[in-house]
Amino acid sequence: MSQNEQLDNFRATVREWMVQNVPRDWRARQAGDNIEEFIASQREWLSRLVAAGYATPHWPEGWPGGGRSLAEQVALFEEIARVDAPRMSLYFVSLYHAAMTLVECGTPEQQARYLPGILKGDVWVQGFSEPGAGSDLAALKTRAERKGESYIVNGQKVWSTLGQFADYCLLLVRTDPTAKKQAGITFLLMDMKSKGVTVRPIRQVTGDEEFAEIFLDDVEIPVENRVGAENEGWGVAQVTLSSERGLTLVELTERMYRSLWRLIAAAEAPPAGPDVETSRAMVDLIGRIEALRALVGEFMARRIAGQEAIGDASILKLAYARTARAYTEMGLRLQGISGQRFTPYILGAGYETGNWMFDFLNSYQFNIAGGANEIQRNIISERMLMLPREKMA
Protein backbone atom coordinates (compact mmCIF):
# COMPACT_ATOMS: atom_id res chain seq x y z
CA MET A 1 0.00 0.00 0.00
CA SER A 2 1.38 3.42 -0.97
CA GLN A 3 1.91 6.24 1.53
CA ASN A 4 -0.97 8.19 -0.02
CA GLU A 5 -3.30 5.22 0.40
CA GLN A 6 -2.19 4.76 4.00
CA LEU A 7 -2.83 8.45 4.67
CA ASP A 8 -6.28 8.27 3.06
CA ASN A 9 -7.15 5.22 5.16
CA PHE A 10 -5.97 6.96 8.33
CA ARG A 11 -8.02 10.05 7.50
CA ALA A 12 -11.13 7.95 6.84
CA THR A 13 -10.69 6.11 10.15
CA VAL A 14 -10.26 9.39 12.05
CA ARG A 15 -13.30 10.91 10.34
CA GLU A 16 -15.51 7.96 11.24
CA TRP A 17 -14.33 8.01 14.86
CA MET A 18 -14.87 11.77 15.16
CA VAL A 19 -18.40 11.57 13.82
CA GLN A 20 -19.24 8.95 16.43
CA ASN A 21 -17.39 10.47 19.40
CA VAL A 22 -17.46 14.28 19.24
CA PRO A 23 -19.78 15.55 22.01
CA ARG A 24 -22.61 17.38 20.27
CA ASP A 25 -23.21 19.68 23.23
CA TRP A 26 -19.62 20.73 23.88
CA ARG A 27 -20.07 24.37 22.85
CA ALA A 28 -23.03 24.76 25.18
CA ARG A 29 -21.14 23.04 28.02
CA GLN A 30 -18.11 25.31 27.64
CA ALA A 31 -20.07 28.54 27.11
CA GLY A 32 -20.41 31.30 29.66
CA ASP A 33 -18.63 31.46 33.00
CA ASN A 34 -19.17 27.90 34.27
CA ILE A 35 -15.51 27.08 34.81
CA GLU A 36 -16.18 23.71 36.41
CA GLU A 37 -18.16 22.59 33.36
CA PHE A 38 -15.41 23.83 31.04
CA ILE A 39 -12.77 21.78 32.90
CA ALA A 40 -14.98 18.69 33.08
CA SER A 41 -15.75 18.88 29.36
CA GLN A 42 -12.07 19.25 28.47
CA ARG A 43 -11.09 16.30 30.69
CA GLU A 44 -13.74 14.07 29.13
CA TRP A 45 -12.59 14.95 25.61
CA LEU A 46 -8.93 14.36 26.50
CA SER A 47 -9.84 10.94 27.91
CA ARG A 48 -11.61 9.97 24.68
CA LEU A 49 -8.70 11.15 22.52
CA VAL A 50 -6.10 9.35 24.64
CA ALA A 51 -8.05 6.10 24.51
CA ALA A 52 -8.32 6.35 20.71
CA GLY A 53 -4.65 7.30 20.26
CA TYR A 54 -5.53 10.71 18.82
CA ALA A 55 -4.19 12.90 21.65
CA THR A 56 -0.52 11.99 21.21
CA PRO A 57 0.24 11.07 17.57
CA HIS A 58 3.36 13.27 17.82
CA TRP A 59 4.75 11.34 20.82
CA PRO A 60 7.25 8.51 20.20
CA GLU A 61 6.12 4.99 19.43
CA GLY A 62 5.11 3.11 22.54
CA TRP A 63 2.74 5.82 23.75
CA PRO A 64 -0.97 5.71 22.78
CA GLY A 65 -1.12 6.41 19.04
CA GLY A 66 2.50 7.62 19.07
CA GLY A 67 4.91 7.64 16.16
CA ARG A 68 2.56 9.13 13.56
CA SER A 69 4.09 11.01 10.66
CA LEU A 70 3.69 14.79 10.35
CA ALA A 71 1.41 14.20 7.36
CA GLU A 72 -0.87 12.06 9.54
CA GLN A 73 -0.84 14.70 12.27
CA VAL A 74 -1.92 17.31 9.73
CA ALA A 75 -4.74 15.04 8.57
CA LEU A 76 -5.84 14.52 12.17
CA PHE A 77 -6.02 18.27 12.87
CA GLU A 78 -7.93 18.85 9.64
CA GLU A 79 -10.50 16.23 10.60
CA ILE A 80 -10.83 17.65 14.11
CA ALA A 81 -11.67 21.01 12.53
CA ARG A 82 -13.94 19.47 9.89
CA VAL A 83 -16.35 18.01 12.47
CA ASP A 84 -16.08 21.01 14.82
CA ALA A 85 -14.61 18.95 17.65
CA PRO A 86 -13.57 20.73 20.88
CA ARG A 87 -10.22 22.47 20.84
CA MET A 88 -7.77 21.11 23.41
CA SER A 89 -7.43 24.52 25.03
CA LEU A 90 -6.70 23.30 28.54
CA TYR A 91 -4.21 20.62 27.49
CA PHE A 92 -2.41 22.01 24.46
CA VAL A 93 0.66 23.13 26.41
CA SER A 94 0.68 19.79 28.25
CA LEU A 95 0.41 17.60 25.15
CA TYR A 96 2.81 19.57 22.97
CA HIS A 97 5.10 22.04 24.72
CA ALA A 98 5.62 20.12 27.95
CA ALA A 99 5.58 16.61 26.49
CA MET A 100 7.95 17.24 23.60
CA THR A 101 10.36 19.21 25.79
CA LEU A 102 10.51 16.20 28.10
CA VAL A 103 10.81 13.72 25.22
CA GLU A 104 13.63 15.58 23.50
CA CYS A 105 15.48 17.17 26.42
CA GLY A 106 14.30 15.56 29.66
CA THR A 107 15.98 12.79 31.62
CA PRO A 108 14.46 9.28 31.69
CA GLU A 109 13.43 9.95 35.28
CA GLN A 110 11.64 13.17 34.30
CA GLN A 111 9.87 11.43 31.43
CA ALA A 112 8.71 8.58 33.64
CA ARG A 113 7.50 11.00 36.29
CA TYR A 114 5.58 13.52 34.17
CA LEU A 115 4.48 12.02 30.83
CA PRO A 116 2.00 9.48 32.26
CA GLY A 117 0.43 12.29 34.29
CA ILE A 118 -0.21 14.32 31.15
CA LEU A 119 -2.24 11.44 29.72
CA LYS A 120 -4.27 11.36 32.94
CA GLY A 121 -5.06 15.08 32.81
CA ASP A 122 -2.20 17.02 34.42
CA VAL A 123 -2.30 20.61 33.21
CA TRP A 124 0.91 22.44 32.30
CA VAL A 125 1.47 26.13 31.74
CA GLN A 126 4.29 28.01 30.07
CA GLY A 127 6.16 30.43 32.34
CA PHE A 128 8.17 32.30 29.72
CA SER A 129 6.90 35.86 29.11
CA GLU A 130 7.44 38.60 31.68
CA PRO A 131 6.59 42.28 31.96
CA GLY A 132 9.17 43.80 29.61
CA ALA A 133 10.19 40.40 28.23
CA GLY A 134 7.42 39.25 25.93
CA SER A 135 8.49 39.62 22.31
CA ASP A 136 12.04 40.04 23.62
CA LEU A 137 11.91 36.83 25.65
CA ALA A 138 15.67 36.71 26.19
CA ALA A 139 15.38 39.86 28.33
CA LEU A 140 13.70 37.89 31.14
CA LYS A 141 14.71 38.80 34.68
CA THR A 142 13.16 36.13 36.91
CA ARG A 143 16.13 35.06 39.02
CA ALA A 144 17.10 31.63 40.31
CA GLU A 145 19.95 31.14 42.78
CA ARG A 146 21.24 27.67 43.50
CA LYS A 147 21.46 26.71 47.14
CA GLY A 148 22.54 23.14 47.63
CA GLU A 149 20.20 20.84 45.74
CA SER A 150 17.57 23.50 45.09
CA TYR A 151 17.05 26.70 43.14
CA ILE A 152 15.43 29.64 44.95
CA VAL A 153 13.34 31.56 42.41
CA ASN A 154 12.02 35.10 42.54
CA GLY A 155 10.24 37.01 39.80
CA GLN A 156 7.05 37.35 37.78
CA LYS A 157 5.59 35.75 34.66
CA VAL A 158 2.68 37.06 32.61
CA TRP A 159 0.33 35.96 29.79
CA SER A 160 0.51 32.36 31.03
CA THR A 161 -2.42 30.71 29.25
CA LEU A 162 -4.91 29.13 31.69
CA GLY A 163 -2.22 29.24 34.37
CA GLN A 164 -4.85 29.35 37.13
CA PHE A 165 -5.71 25.72 36.35
CA ALA A 166 -2.16 24.41 35.97
CA ASP A 167 -0.51 21.67 37.98
CA TYR A 168 3.01 22.27 36.63
CA CYS A 169 4.95 25.02 34.88
CA LEU A 170 7.68 25.14 32.22
CA LEU A 171 9.77 27.90 33.76
CA LEU A 172 12.56 29.99 32.27
CA VAL A 173 14.83 31.67 34.84
CA ARG A 174 18.06 33.60 34.80
CA THR A 175 20.84 31.86 36.68
CA ASP A 176 23.74 34.03 35.46
CA PRO A 177 22.83 37.74 35.49
CA THR A 178 26.25 38.69 34.09
CA ALA A 179 25.86 36.66 30.88
CA LYS A 180 24.54 38.03 27.60
CA LYS A 181 20.84 37.69 26.81
CA GLN A 182 20.42 34.13 25.58
CA ALA A 183 23.18 32.86 27.83
CA GLY A 184 22.64 32.47 31.54
CA ILE A 185 19.06 31.16 31.20
CA THR A 186 18.02 27.86 32.79
CA PHE A 187 14.93 25.72 32.15
CA LEU A 188 13.08 24.36 35.21
CA LEU A 189 9.96 22.29 35.89
CA MET A 190 7.93 23.83 38.69
CA ASP A 191 5.10 22.37 40.75
CA MET A 192 2.41 25.07 40.82
CA LYS A 193 1.49 24.07 44.37
CA SER A 194 4.96 25.03 45.62
CA LYS A 195 5.14 27.48 48.50
CA GLY A 196 5.61 31.04 47.23
CA VAL A 197 3.67 30.61 43.95
CA THR A 198 0.78 33.05 43.51
CA VAL A 199 -1.44 33.00 40.41
CA ARG A 200 -3.61 35.96 39.46
CA PRO A 201 -5.97 35.58 36.44
CA ILE A 202 -6.07 38.46 33.94
CA ARG A 203 -9.56 39.55 32.87
CA GLN A 204 -9.66 40.30 29.14
CA VAL A 205 -11.83 42.67 27.15
CA THR A 206 -14.03 39.67 26.28
CA GLY A 207 -14.78 39.08 29.95
CA ASP A 208 -12.81 35.83 29.98
CA GLU A 209 -9.78 35.10 32.14
CA GLU A 210 -7.78 33.03 29.67
CA PHE A 211 -4.39 34.30 30.85
CA ALA A 212 -2.74 34.70 34.21
CA GLU A 213 0.16 36.32 36.02
CA ILE A 214 2.42 34.11 38.11
CA PHE A 215 4.31 35.62 41.04
CA LEU A 216 7.30 33.74 42.47
CA ASP A 217 8.55 34.59 45.95
CA ASP A 218 11.43 32.44 47.24
CA VAL A 219 10.04 29.40 45.45
CA GLU A 220 12.17 26.31 46.02
CA ILE A 221 12.64 24.04 42.98
CA PRO A 222 14.79 20.88 43.22
CA VAL A 223 17.85 20.76 40.96
CA GLU A 224 16.53 17.42 39.64
CA ASN A 225 13.73 19.44 38.01
CA ARG A 226 16.20 21.21 35.73
CA VAL A 227 15.93 20.34 32.02
CA GLY A 228 19.31 20.43 30.34
CA ALA A 229 22.38 22.05 31.80
CA GLU A 230 22.46 25.17 33.93
CA ASN A 231 22.66 28.35 31.83
CA GLU A 232 21.71 26.43 28.67
CA GLY A 233 17.96 26.74 28.91
CA TRP A 234 17.60 28.92 25.82
CA GLY A 235 18.20 25.96 23.55
CA VAL A 236 15.66 23.88 25.47
CA ALA A 237 13.13 26.72 25.12
CA GLN A 238 13.51 26.63 21.33
CA VAL A 239 12.48 22.96 21.42
CA THR A 240 9.44 23.94 23.49
CA LEU A 241 8.41 26.74 21.13
CA SER A 242 8.77 24.62 17.99
CA SER A 243 7.02 21.55 19.39
CA GLU A 244 3.64 21.92 17.68
CA ARG A 245 5.25 22.65 14.26
CA GLY A 246 2.47 24.80 12.80
CA LEU A 247 -0.36 22.38 13.59
CA THR A 248 -2.26 25.07 15.52
CA LEU A 249 -2.63 27.16 12.37
CA VAL A 250 -3.68 24.10 10.38
CA GLU A 251 -6.57 23.63 12.78
CA LEU A 252 -7.51 27.29 13.22
CA THR A 253 -7.48 27.99 9.48
CA GLU A 254 -9.60 24.93 8.72
CA ARG A 255 -12.05 25.90 11.46
CA MET A 256 -12.42 29.34 9.94
CA TYR A 257 -13.08 27.85 6.51
CA ARG A 258 -15.55 25.30 7.90
CA SER A 259 -17.47 28.03 9.74
CA LEU A 260 -18.05 30.22 6.67
CA TRP A 261 -21.67 29.05 6.81
CA ARG A 262 -22.11 31.35 9.80
CA LEU A 263 -21.18 34.37 7.68
CA ILE A 264 -23.29 33.23 4.76
CA ALA A 265 -26.29 32.75 7.01
CA ALA A 266 -25.82 36.23 8.44
CA ALA A 267 -25.39 37.72 4.95
CA GLU A 268 -28.62 36.17 3.71
CA ALA A 269 -30.70 37.81 6.40
CA PRO A 270 -29.20 41.19 7.36
CA PRO A 271 -31.49 43.94 8.70
CA ALA A 272 -31.80 45.66 5.31
CA GLY A 273 -31.28 42.65 3.05
CA PRO A 274 -28.15 41.76 1.05
CA ASP A 275 -26.47 44.48 -1.03
CA VAL A 276 -23.80 44.66 -3.71
CA GLU A 277 -21.12 46.06 -1.40
CA THR A 278 -21.65 43.30 1.14
CA SER A 279 -21.58 40.64 -1.57
CA ARG A 280 -18.28 41.98 -2.91
CA ALA A 281 -16.77 42.10 0.56
CA MET A 282 -17.90 38.51 1.21
CA VAL A 283 -16.33 37.27 -2.03
CA ASP A 284 -13.09 39.04 -1.17
CA LEU A 285 -13.01 37.53 2.32
CA ILE A 286 -13.77 34.02 1.08
CA GLY A 287 -10.91 34.41 -1.41
CA ARG A 288 -8.57 35.46 1.40
CA ILE A 289 -9.54 32.45 3.48
CA GLU A 290 -9.01 30.11 0.52
CA ALA A 291 -5.62 31.72 -0.09
CA LEU A 292 -4.72 31.22 3.58
CA ARG A 293 -5.67 27.54 3.36
CA ALA A 294 -3.41 27.17 0.31
CA LEU A 295 -0.60 28.95 2.15
CA VAL A 296 -1.01 26.63 5.15
CA GLY A 297 -1.01 23.60 2.83
CA GLU A 298 2.20 24.69 1.11
CA PHE A 299 3.87 25.46 4.43
CA MET A 300 3.06 22.04 5.89
CA ALA A 301 4.08 20.29 2.66
CA ARG A 302 7.51 21.91 2.92
CA ARG A 303 7.77 20.93 6.58
CA ILE A 304 6.84 17.36 5.78
CA ALA A 305 9.51 17.34 3.08
CA GLY A 306 12.06 18.98 5.40
CA GLN A 307 12.30 22.06 3.18
CA GLU A 308 10.97 24.81 5.43
CA ALA A 309 12.56 28.19 4.71
CA ILE A 310 13.45 30.90 7.21
CA GLY A 311 10.47 33.21 7.66
CA ASP A 312 7.83 30.74 6.42
CA ALA A 313 6.21 30.48 9.83
CA SER A 314 6.22 34.27 10.23
CA ILE A 315 4.41 34.77 6.93
CA LEU A 316 1.81 32.18 7.90
CA LYS A 317 1.22 33.55 11.38
CA LEU A 318 0.90 37.13 10.08
CA ALA A 319 -1.51 36.05 7.32
CA TYR A 320 -3.70 34.19 9.79
CA ALA A 321 -3.86 37.07 12.28
CA ARG A 322 -4.96 39.52 9.57
CA THR A 323 -7.51 37.14 8.06
CA ALA A 324 -9.03 36.21 11.43
CA ARG A 325 -9.63 39.86 12.20
CA ALA A 326 -11.18 40.48 8.76
CA TYR A 327 -13.40 37.42 9.20
CA THR A 328 -14.73 38.44 12.61
CA GLU A 329 -15.13 42.07 11.53
CA MET A 330 -17.33 40.91 8.65
CA GLY A 331 -19.49 38.88 11.02
CA LEU A 332 -19.93 41.91 13.28
CA ARG A 333 -20.83 44.09 10.28
CA LEU A 334 -23.42 41.62 9.01
CA GLN A 335 -25.08 41.22 12.39
CA GLY A 336 -25.75 44.93 12.67
CA ILE A 337 -26.62 46.69 15.90
CA SER A 338 -27.61 43.43 17.61
CA GLY A 339 -24.01 42.28 17.25
CA GLN A 340 -22.84 44.95 19.69
CA ARG A 341 -24.05 42.75 22.55
CA PHE A 342 -22.25 39.62 23.63
CA THR A 343 -21.78 37.25 26.53
CA PRO A 344 -18.50 35.56 27.49
CA TYR A 345 -18.23 32.41 25.44
CA ILE A 346 -15.52 29.78 25.73
CA LEU A 347 -12.15 29.85 27.47
CA GLY A 348 -9.50 29.19 24.85
CA ALA A 349 -12.04 29.44 22.01
CA GLY A 350 -11.11 30.09 18.42
CA TYR A 351 -12.48 32.99 16.44
CA GLU A 352 -15.38 31.23 14.76
CA THR A 353 -18.01 30.77 17.46
CA GLY A 354 -20.63 32.95 15.74
CA ASN A 355 -20.83 35.19 18.82
CA TRP A 356 -19.50 37.99 16.65
CA MET A 357 -18.59 40.68 19.17
CA PHE A 358 -16.80 38.08 21.27
CA ASP A 359 -15.05 36.67 18.19
CA PHE A 360 -14.01 40.13 17.00
CA LEU A 361 -12.54 41.18 20.35
CA ASN A 362 -10.93 37.77 20.82
CA SER A 363 -9.25 37.88 17.40
CA TYR A 364 -6.99 40.75 18.49
CA GLN A 365 -5.04 38.49 20.83
CA PHE A 366 -3.54 36.70 17.83
CA ASN A 367 -1.77 39.95 16.91
CA ILE A 368 0.46 39.08 19.89
CA ALA A 369 0.10 35.33 20.49
CA GLY A 370 2.81 33.25 18.87
CA GLY A 371 4.99 36.34 18.38
CA ALA A 372 3.72 39.89 17.81
CA ASN A 373 2.87 40.89 14.24
CA GLU A 374 5.56 43.57 14.35
CA ILE A 375 8.17 40.96 15.25
CA GLN A 376 6.99 38.72 12.41
CA ARG A 377 7.39 41.62 9.97
CA ASN A 378 10.92 42.22 11.25
CA ILE A 379 11.79 38.54 10.74
CA ILE A 380 10.42 38.59 7.19
CA SER A 381 12.22 41.82 6.25
CA GLU A 382 15.56 41.00 7.87
CA ARG A 383 15.89 37.23 7.40
CA MET A 384 13.99 36.65 4.16
CA LEU A 385 14.31 39.94 2.27
CA MET A 386 17.72 40.69 3.81
CA LEU A 387 16.80 44.33 4.37
CA PRO A 388 19.12 46.35 6.64
CA ARG A 389 18.01 47.13 10.16
CA GLU A 390 17.29 50.84 10.43
CA LYS A 391 19.45 52.57 13.00
CA MET A 392 17.71 54.86 15.46
CA ALA A 393 18.99 58.43 15.45
Identify the weakest region by mean pLDDT among 272-281, 302-311, 325-334. Answer: 272-281
**H helices then E strands: how many in the chain?**
14, 8
Q: What is the mean pLDDT of the chain?
A: 90
Contact in structure between 326 and 372 (CB atoms under 8 Å): no
* pLDDT tens digits, one per residue of 134-168: 778 889 999 999 999 999 999 999 999 999 999 99
- Going by pLDDT thresholds of 50, 70 and 90, the confidence category of residue 347 is low
- What pTM, to 2 d.p., does this model score? 0.91
- Going by pLDDT thresholds of 50, 70 and 90, the confidence category of residue 391 is low
What's the rounded mean pLDDT across residues 41-49?
96
Catalytic residue among 213, 244, 251, 254: 244
Q: How far apart are CA 239 and CA 375, in angstroms?
A: 20
Contact in structure between 362 and 354 (CB atoms under 8 Å): no
> What are the backbone angles phi and psi of residue 46, rounded to the nearest 5°?
-60, -45
> Hey, where are the domains in the chain?
3-88, 124-231, 246-384
Q: How far apart are CA 152 and CA 156, in angstroms?
A: 13
Dihedral through CA 293, CA 298, CA 302, CA 304, nearest 10? 50
- Going by pLDDT thresholds of 50, 70 and 90, the confidence category of residue 345 is low
Is-catalytic flag, 244? yes
Architecture of the domain made up of 246-384: Up-down Bundle (1.20)
The distance from CA 22 to its chain's CA centroid, rounded to whole angstroms, is: 21
Is pLDDT of 352 > 80? no
Is pLDDT of 44 > 70? yes
Q: How far apart are CA 301 and CA 295, in angstroms?
A: 10
Architecture of the domain made up of 124-231: Beta Barrel (2.40)
Give me the pLDDT at residue 350, please.
61
Is pLDDT of 273 > 60? no
